[in-house]
C-alpha cells in the first residue's frame, strides 16, 4: 500500500532562514501530491498541490514544492520563513486509481520559527 | 463561501456515553471524509463516502464506531460506548471529486473522561 514519509518530525528555525521539508512516497504510478498546513488550533488548509505538468509548484504564502519522480519526492520549500509560519505541515499523496479519492497523509512536521 | 461545518467544536463526556459528531460538507461536494488526529498516531482516515455511499471504512477502529451519510449535506460519526482512548480531534473533509483537493472543517475536539 502507498505510504508517505516525512523525515523531519520537528524543525526549529530563526526568522529569515530557508526551509526545506522532506516528503517521500512509497511507489510510483500516477499520483497527486499535496502539502497541507495546520496552524495551532486550526484545521488543515491546502498549501499547494501537484497533479501534472511543471514539477515546480508554487503555493500560497511563498511556499513551493518540487516533484521529483525518480526520487518519489515532493519536498516543500520557502526561501525565508516568518514567525507566522509556525505550524504543522503535512504531506499527502493520492493514488490516482480512478474513482478513489483517498489521501494518505504523512505524520507531519512541526515547524517552530523563532523571532 | 461556507466551508465544511462541524459540530460540536468541543465535547467532554464520561466514558460509556454515546457521542455523535456532525458534519455538513461544502455544497456540491460529493466526497466526504472522517479523520482522527492524535499526537501518537497523527492523522488517520477513518471512513470516506462517495455520493453518500461508504467506499472505504477500513480505518474505523472497531464496532463501537459507525458513520452515516443519509444525504449529500449531512454526515454523522457515532461512538458508542465511548472510551478514554477515543479522545482526539475528529476532522471532516469534503471534495468535489477525484481530482479535487479536500477541504477540512475546524474539527471536533473530543475528550472522554
DSSP string, chain A: ---EE---SEEEEETT--EEE--EES--SSEEEEEEEE-TTS-EEEEEEE-SS-SEEE-GGG-EEEEEGGGTEEEEEESS--GGG-EEEEEEEEE--SS---EEE---EEEEEE-
User: Which of B45, B50, B91 lies closest to A43 in CB terms?
Assistant: B91
Hey, which residues 67-86 in chain A have their CB within 8 Å of chain B?
none
pLDDT digits (tens, 9 = 90+) for B91-106: 999 999 766 889 999 9
d(CA A104, CA A43): 17
Strands B108-112 and B10-13: parallel
Contact state of A100 with B45 under an 8 Å Cβ cutoff: no
pLDDT digits (tens, 9 = 90+) for B17-75: 999 999 999 999 999 999 999 888 888 899 989 899 998 888 898 899 999 999 999 99
d(CA A66, CA A77): 8
Burial (CB count <10 Å: 0-12, 13-18, 19+), residue A50 = buried
Contact state of A102 with B103 under an 8 Å Cβ cutoff: no
The rounded mean pLDDT for chain A is: 90
* Nearest-CA distance B59 → chain A (Å): 11
Would you state the cell numbers that stand for residue B41, as one nine-digit string? 498516531
Amino acid at each position: 500500500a502507498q505510504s508517505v514519509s516525512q523525515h523531519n518530525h520537528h524543525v526549529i528555525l530563526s526568522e529569515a532562514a530557508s526551509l526545506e521539508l522532506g516528503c517521500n512516497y512509497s511507489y510510483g504510478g500516477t499520483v497527486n501530491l499535496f502539502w497541507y498546513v495546520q496552524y495551532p488550533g486550526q484545521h488543515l488548509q491546502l498549501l499547494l498541490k501537484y497533479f501534472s505538468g511543471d514539477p515546480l509548484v508554487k503555493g500560497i504564502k511563498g511556499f513551493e514544492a518540487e516533484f521529483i519522480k525518480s526520487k518519489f519526492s515532493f519536498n516543500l520549500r520557502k526561501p525565508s520563513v516568518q514567525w507566522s509560519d509556525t505550524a504543522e505541515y503535512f504531506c499527502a499523496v493520492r493514488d490516482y486509481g480512478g474513482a478513489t479519492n483517498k489521501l494518505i497523509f504523512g505524520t507531519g512536521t512541526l515547524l517552530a520559527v523563532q523571532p | 463561501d461556507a466551508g465544511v461545518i462541524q459540530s460540536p467544536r468541543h465535547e467532554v463526556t464520561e466514558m460509556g456515553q454515546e457521542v455523535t459528531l456532525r458534519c455538513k460538507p461544502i455544497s456540491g461536494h460529493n466526497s466526504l471524509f472522517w479523520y482522527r488526529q492524535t499526537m501518537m498516531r497523527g492523522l488517520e482516515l477513518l471512513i470516506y463516502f462517495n455520493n453518500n455511499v461508504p467506499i472505504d471504512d477500513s480505518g474505523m477502529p472497531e464496532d463501537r464506531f459507525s458513520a452515516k451519510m443519509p444525504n449529500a449535506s449531512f454526515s454523522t460519526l457515532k461512538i458508542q460506548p465511548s472510551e478514554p482512548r477515543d479522545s482526539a480531534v475528529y476532522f471532516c473533509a469534503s471534495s468535489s471529486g477525484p481530482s479535487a483537493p479536500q477541504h477540512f472543517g475546524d474539527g471536533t475536539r473530543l475528550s472522554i473522561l
